Amino acid sequence: MQNPFQNAMLQLDKVAKLKKARDFGDEFFARLRQPDRDIRISIPIKMDNGSLKIFEGYRVEYNNALGPYKGGIRYHPDTEINEVKALAFWMALKCAVAGIEMGGGKGGITVDPKELSKRELEKLSRGWVQKLSDILGPHKDVPAPDVNTTPEIMDWMADEYEKITGDKTRATFTGKPLGKGGSEGRGPATGLGGFYVFNSLRTQLGLKEKCEIVIQGFGNVGLNAAKIFIENGHKILAISDSKGGVYDLNGLDLNKLIEYKKNNGSLSGFMGSKNVTNEELLEIKCDVLIPAAFENQITDKNADKIKAQVILELANGPLTPEADEILFNKGIQVIPDILANSGGVTVSYFEWEQNLKNENWSEKEVFDKLLPLMNDAAQKTLEKAKESNTHLRMGAFILALERIKTKI
Ligand code: GLU
């Protein structure tokens, strides 16, 4: 896999070449090329069979110019320090684009959580907090869910943190379950924020009123996005999980797919719609392609074959810098991750605020606060891109860097 941190730094190099970025100065860019700190830990766990297994964990605190470090924790067998560093860097920019007072951080553990029992998973999650509790805290560093980490895991972590430090605010972790300090609306927030951004830019990007959508990913983000787009009259032509996808020109029936996945563990083998591989899915002709899974899905190898009009990046880093250029030259617009998926961390920020003020906002209140932030971020990103005659990713970078620069 292409090193995601190198990709992130190539993006930064590209923005540094724009005329607009000259005002920022070389020192500012030099500072952004390194995280404030990156921490690797080992977490020894007694497994159910009595053996001892040692897992590698991470927390990268990239930049806190705008507020406490903020960002999720990823559990995945491929998770490693360069991925976590890239994700932490993007978090710093994402919070700035969304206009929330948070910095950027990210964490992870190299593990396939599907291979652990619930007891082992809980021990591992508590173990991560035990090793890192010194650097965490509502005003220092506030983790959240990411790939394969759930509200239940956030609850274990918040509980462990409280046990160690005595802090009862529960504001050190966001994405907690409802009734345990979680916020209404945090579950669908990333998908919904993506939809708000899409809606804000739709006519400006020349998209029609009812779009045909293809989604890569059937996790929290992909699935919620699919539901929200359907509820708003759009059609999902294809969707996939890690094993493969299904495609139907007449539009998919999401409820049937959810049911099938529940019974069979994956979408593969679903009858009634055409089965496609993840590679084929990305190349389907559609109005909007939504990568909602992992990094490096669209690269110099397949960018040329993409037939979408617009790409809405709900995953972090799904396009390589080479793919960006190819798509730009083909006239395919990319709504970048640090804008498109910023609804998740924005509602995390609302959760943190509710915890600190001891309040509980209704789902409507949460969504009413999210909408104007997403609209504003989308329109300012477009403005910045137009000013510099560049694409939306660079526009979002300029917007973020301008905001970080005022506080550094
Ligand atoms: N993991 C999510 C992201 O990549 C959310 C982070 C958060 O809520 O802090 O944006």
Predicted confidence band at 84 (pLDDT cuts at 50, 70, 90)? very high
Counting atoms of ligand 1 from 1, which one is nearest the CA of 142?
A: 9
What CATH number does residue 62 fall under? 3.40.50.10860
Tell me, in angstroms, the distance from the centre of ligand 1 to residue 224's CA.
15
How many Å separate Cα 249 from the centre of its chain?
A: 28
Is 23 contained in some domain?
A: no
| pLDDT, mean of residues 193-201 | 98
Are 203 and 335 members of one domain?
A: yes
Is 99 contained in some domain?
A: yes
Are 197 and 327 members of one domain?
A: yes
Counting atoms of ligand 1 from 1, which one is nearest the CA of 348?
A: 8
Are 275 and 334 members of one domain?
A: yes
Token output for 98: 């969304």
List, for residues 358-391, the tens digit of each pLDDT value. Answer: 999 999 999 999 999 999 999 999 999 999 999 9
Cα separation, 36 vs 288, whole angstroms: 37
Nearest CA to ligand 1 atom 8: 345
For ligand 1, pick from 345, 350, 366, 370 the residue to mutate: most ligand atoms within 8 Å of CB.
Answer: 345
For ligand 1, pick from 60, 64, 190, 355 the residue to mutate: most ligand atoms within 8 Å of CB.
Answer: 190
Residue 227 falls in the annotated catalytic set: no
pLDDT score for 2: 80
Q: Which residue has the tokens 């998770």?
A: 79
pLDDT score for 261: 95
| pLDDT, mean of residues 70-82 | 98
Tell me, in angstroms, the distance from the centre of ligand 1 to residue 189's CA.
10
List, for residues 301-328, the tens digit of each pLDDT value. Answer: 999 999 999 999 999 999 999 999 999 9
pLDDT of 157 strictly over 70: yes
Q: Quick one: 290 exposed, middle or buried, by C-beta within 10 A (0-12, 13-18, 19+)? A: buried
Answering whether pTM is above 0.85, one says: yes
Phi and psi, residue 379, nearest 5°: -70, -40
Question: How many structural domains are present in the chain?
Answer: 2
Cα separation, 56 vs 17, whole angstroms: 37
Cα separation, 242 vs 127, whole angstroms: 28
Is 309 contained in some domain?
A: yes
Q: Are strands 37-46 and 52-63 parallel, antiparallel or unpaired?
A: antiparallel
| pLDDT, mean of residues 189-199 | 98
Cα separation, 58 vs 131, whole angstroms: 10
Final residue belonging to a domain, choices 340, 356, 376 = 340
Tell me, in angstroms, the distance from the centre of ligand 1 to residue 52's CA.
31
pLDDT score for 123: 98
Are 75 and 211 members of one domain?
A: no
Which amino acid, 219?
A: G
pLDDT score for 268: 87
Counting atoms of ligand 1 from 1, which one is nearest the CA of 87?
A: 4
| pLDDT, mean of residues 19-35 | 94
Contact 226, 215 (CB under 8 A): yes
Q: Which domain holds residue 222?
A: 189-340
Counting atoms of ligand 1 from 1, which one is nearest the CA of 147?
A: 1
pLDDT of 272 strictly over 90: no
Is 347 contained in some domain?
A: no
Predicted confidence band at 269 (pLDDT cuts at 50, 70, 90)? confident
Is 253 contained in some domain?
A: yes
The dihedral through the CA atoms of 174, 180, 184, 185 has a sign that is: positive
Are 222 and 268 members of one domain?
A: yes
Token output for 149: 């980490």
Is 359 contained in some domain?
A: no
List, for residues 159-188, the tens digit of each pLDDT value. Answer: 999 999 999 999 999 999 999 999 999 999
Tell me, in angstroms, the distance from the centre of ligand 1 to residue 62's CA.
14
For ligand 1, pick from 136, 348, 350, 374 the residue to mutate: most ligand atoms within 8 Å of CB.
Answer: 348
pLDDT of 395 strictly over 90: yes
What CATH number does residue 257 fall under? 3.40.50.720
Counting atoms of ligand 1 from 1, which one is nearest the CA of 102?
A: 9
Nearest CA to ligand 1 atom 5: 345
Predicted confidence band at 1 (pLDDT cuts at 50, 70, 90)? low
List, for residues 29-48, the tens digit of each pLDDT value. Answer: 999 999 999 999 999 999 99
For ligand 1, pick from 146, 294, 339, 350 the residue to mutate: most ligand atoms within 8 Å of CB.
Answer: 146
The percent of residues in the chain predicted with pLDDT above 70, rounded, is: 100
Are 228 and 149 members of one domain?
A: no
Is 305 contained in some domain?
A: yes
Nearest CA to ligand 1 atom 9: 71
Token output for 112: 């396939």
Pocket of ligand 1 from Cβ distances under 6 Å: 70-72, 144, 146, 174-175, 316, 341, 344-345, 348
List, for residues 210-240, the tens digit of each pLDDT value. Answer: 999 999 999 999 999 999 999 999 999 999 9
Among candidate residues 85, 106, 227, 380, the one labeled active-site is 106
Please, what is the Cα angle at 21 between 16 and 26, to 5 degrees? 65
| pLDDT, mean of residues 123-132 | 98
List, for residues 128-138, the tens digit of each pLDDT value. Answer: 999 999 999 99
pLDDT score for 32: 97
Contact 246, 274 (CB under 8 A): yes
Q: Quick one: 51 exposed, middle or buried, by C-beta within 10 A (0-12, 13-18, 19+)? A: exposed
pLDDT score for 263: 95
Tell me, in angstroms, the distance from the centre of ligand 1 to residue 146's CA.
6
Tell me, in angstroms, the distance from the centre of ligand 1 to residue 102's CA.
11
HSE of 328, CA atoms in CB hemisphere, 13 A: 16
Tell me, in angstroms, the distance from the centre of ligand 1 to residue 23's CA.
30
Counting atoms of ligand 1 from 1, which one is nearest the CA of 72?
A: 1
Token output for 268: 């593969």
Tell me, in angstroms, the distance from the centre of ligand 1 to residue 175's CA.
9
Cα separation, 355 vs 369, whole angstroms: 16
Contact 323, 298 (CB under 8 A): yes
Is 246 contained in some domain?
A: yes
